[in-house]
Amino acid sequence: MKKLMTISAALTAALISGSTFAAPKISAQSIIVNPTVSDLAVKVNVNRDTSGSQIADYRVGDNVQISATVNQDAYVYLFDIDAAGKVTQILPNRFNSGANFLKANTTKVFPAAGDTYSFTIDGPLGLNKVLAVASKTELNLNNISEFQNNSQFATGRVEGQQQLAQALSIVVNPLPQNTWVSDTALYSVSASQTTSTGSLFVGSSAPGSLVYLNGRSVGGANVTFTNLQPGSYAVRVTTPGYADYNANVSIRAGAVVNLNVEPVYGNAGAVTPVQPVQQGRAAISLRSSISGALVFVDGRQAGSIQNGGLNLNLTRGSHEIVLIAPGYRSFVNTYNVQQGGTITINPTRP
């Protein structure tokens, strides 16, 4: 996503929860997850999903509004992470409404009434996120973002969710963890309706994966393949040392299909590949041998592993799942859920 003076920007927000002694964890969203509940809360939404529980859909050229709410006086910081990993600091900014101290039980909307800019979707296509961080004390973000020249918005010194999460972990780690929290909003960016072709993003959690469409090699994974004619495509993902992954996808004009692959090898299981669809829900049985492990779906805690599992009811589409347990490496992976199935996760020890 690009931000211009009549700003082309697509946005999404993220939640951080607080704790007093435990070190911050990095979630499946590659955003900090605080394992301890705090009395401070922040909520961030985009205008097409005021509940904050769905993935809002926008097309290139659409306008978007972001809102942030806190239950206590706090400094609020908003970051946009676009589909290419570019990080832009939305709040604080240099516009008149860009101050980031919010009073308790108030909501701040961007752009605000009277602002001379707008947020307009301008790509890249794919899944985008907005991260909201609230803190009872002001944070020093000099190592995370900077205002360049006369820019009204600060540009991230880091790129990608993982680097942003690690940088934020360093900033908040010295603080009492009940004094900061976060929240995440997701949105999907598709091409404008006048576009006659579609796109396909193929992600893989293993290095060296190659992608084939209808039997033809098109390159490596973790890439968005654009200018695809609408229709059905046979997708094959090959990875050295792993079984091939096969699926059928349906490409529509002006839309992006997200297909995230976890090659079948080792401890982590994968959802059976099926043809992606755009709506509905699916029952997923999450299985793990780590009793009491915390499970986060799209940055929000969904429960914990009890009696060997946890049942999830997910919307069809791409979901990031993280499992955190003391003494184990945090498990992070993205799944393209299209029908009911089983995911088996057995984290390894450091």
- Reported as a single tens digit per residue, the pLDDT across 243-267 is 888 888 888 877 778 787 877 764 3
Q: What is the pLDDT of residue 24?
A: 61
Equal fold, 25-190 vs 267-350: yes
- The mean pLDDT value for 76-89 works out to 89
- The mean pLDDT value for 317-345 works out to 80
For a pLDDT cut of 90, what percent of the chain falls above it? 17
N residues, the chain = 350
Q: How does residue 229 score in pLDDT terms, banded at 50, 70 and 90?
A: confident
Q: What is the pLDDT of residue 327?
A: 77
Locate the domains of the chain by residue range: 25-190, 195-265, 267-350
- Reported as a single tens digit per residue, the pLDDT across 134-193 is 999 999 999 899 998 888 889 888 888 878 888 888 898 888 888 999 888 888 887 766
CB contact burial 23-48 (16+ within 10 A = b; e otherwise): ebbbbbbbbbbbbeebebbbbbbbbe
Establish how many alpha carbons lie within 13 A of residue 231's alpha carbon, considering only the half-sphere containing its beta carbon: 7
Is residue 55's pLDDT more than 90?
A: no
| Global confidence as pTM | 0.55
> Looking at domain 195-265, which CATH architecture does it have?
Sandwich (2.60)
How many Å apart are CA 137 and CA 46, to the nearest integer?
Answer: 25
Q: How does residue 53 score in pLDDT terms, banded at 50, 70 and 90?
A: low
Is residue 125's pLDDT more than 70?
A: yes
How many Å apart are CA 67 and CA 61, to the nearest integer?
Answer: 20
Is the torsion defined by CA of 89, 94, 96, 102 positive or negative?
A: positive
Query: Does domain 25-190 correspond to CATH entry 2.60.40.2550?
Result: yes
- The 10 Å Cβ neighbour count of residue 255 is 21
Report whether 89 contacts 154 (CB < 8 A).
yes
Q: For the domain 267-350, what is the CATH code?
A: 2.60.40
